[in-house]
Amino acid sequence: MKIAVLPGDGIGPEIVAEALKVLEVLRGEGVAIETETAPIGGAGYDTARQPLPPATLALAQKADAILLGAVGGPQYDALPRALRPEQGILGIRKALGLFANLRPAFLYPELADSSSLKPEIVAGLDLLIVRELTGDIYFGQPRGRRVNAGGETEGFDTMLYSEREIARIARVGFEAAMKRSRRLCSVDKANVLDTSILWREVVTGMAADYPEVALTHMYVDNAAMQLVRNPKQFDVIVTGNLFGDILSDEASMLVGSIGMLPSASLDAANKGLYEPIHGSAPDIAGQRKANPLATILSLAMMFRHTFERADVAGRVEQAVRKVLRQGLRTGDIAASGQAGVSTNAMGDAVVAALQH
């Protein structure tokens, strides 16, 4: 199992260091893991004047899976768009064809009070958002600016999905639903957008391949409302890049801190890039305050989806549950007024829980 490790910027190196401790324990138990580290994002720019240095991309291409911390920081904000840190991640997604973004939103009972919603609305919440990642209005051409007939400048983008792109992400959604409670909700805006009308037709057409999955459709504005009204009605949500971007951030707040949530971005062969959903948190970087659990849980997802080692994934997730039950909290999930344990103390506790 070759893992490319890309710590990135800000808290990235701190949280990745804790995930590497977990990998070290697994390696000690005989799990055949090799790791190699490379710079990305601002760190890529600092070392090679590019957010995605060619050597980093080559490492990612030859690895079986990629573990990423986070990228970005105020010192890079003034760079031209092509050199900005996030181009490193966008570049890897594009180059490796990582079209399927899986974002689970799972509420640990111990953290029910961290949610912005009432505990009874979120208790037991366990949903998965499957977001398409390489198409839609973020990549559709043409895009840009033009001067209209009235001499006014306009900005424009193109929302665009092909049948093939819709079918391959829908299949990921159906397959995920088969492994869970067999309920799939496809989210679109078919009352307004032609792209969404095609989306709905393609998804509906595939339902016959999955007779055991109960397929429903929902408009994105209603889905945004239902997620905060009654989030437990959902099992798996499948949606496009733009709607998924917004809904998955909304869902992350249902379960408390973004410091808890992992993600996977997969290609057609389940090779994947695994990363916490949060950013590089420059406000707390270098202070040993960051929560490493989202990164450690991303590692668990890697074992489940790419390495097909659900046993290892389950053990890592159980170790995380154990430290939460023990009462360990970093600042982001601590009760208000409490300082919380350090990044390393949290990582060490997960390692100890894994070993006993």
Shortest gap between Cβ of 177 and ligand NAD (angstroms)? 26
Of 189, 210, 274, 289, catalytic: 189
Task: Indicate the residue among 36 and 283 with the shorter CB distance to ligand NAD.
Answer: 283
CA atoms lying within 13 Å on the CB side of residue 109: 4
Compute how many residues bind ligand NAD; rule: CB under 6 A.
23
CA distance 88 to 290: 22
Least Cα distance to 305 among 109, 172, 116, 138 occurs for: 172
Reduced to 3 states, what is the DSSP secondary structure of residue 47? helix
Residues in 39-68 at the binding interface with ligand NAD, rule: CB under 6 A: none
How many other C-beta atoms can be found within 10 angstroms of the C-beta atom of residue 87? 22
Residue 166 one-letter amino acid: I
Please indicate whether residue 189 is annotated as part of the active site: yes
Name 254's Cβ contacts closer than 8 Å, sequence gap at least 6: 105, 107, 115, 116, 117, 122, 125, 227, 228, 231
- Give yes or no for residue 340 binding ligand NAD (CB under 6 A): no
- Count the Cβ atoms, other than its own, within 10 Å of residue 247: 22
332 in contact with ligand NAD (CB under 6 A):
yes
Q: Does 298 bind ligand NAD (CB under 6 A)?
A: no
Whose Cβ is closer to ligand NAD: residue 179's or residue 321's? 321
Residue 281 makes contact with ligand NAD by CB under 6 A: yes
Catalytic residue among 64, 126, 157, 249: 249
With contacts defined by CB under 6 A, name the span among 170-178, 217-225, 289-297, 307-315 that binds ligand NAD. Answer: 289-297
Binding test (CB under 6 A) with ligand NAD, winner from 159, 258, 345, 352 = 258
Q: Are 97 and 172 in contact (CB under 8 A)?
A: no
User: Is 240 a residue that touches ligand NAD (CB under 6 A)?
Assistant: no
- Interface residues for ligand NAD in 76-105 (CB under 6 A)? 86, 89
* Structure-block tokens of residue 186: 């496809």
With CB under 6 A as the contact rule, the residue among 279, 297, 303, 353 that binds ligand NAD is: 279
Q: Is 166 in the site for ligand NAD (CB under 6 A)?
A: no
Report angle CA 197, 200, 203 to the nearest 5 degrees: 150
Minimum distance from residue 181 beta carbon to ligand NAD (Å): 29
- One-character DSSP codes across 119-167: HHHHTT-EEEEEEE-S-GGGT-SS-EEEE-TTS-EEEE------HHHHH
Q: Which residues are catalytic?
A: 138, 189, 221, 245, 249
Residues that bind ligand NAD (CB under 6 A): 11, 15, 70-73, 86, 89, 258-259, 275, 278-284, 290-291, 294, 330, 332
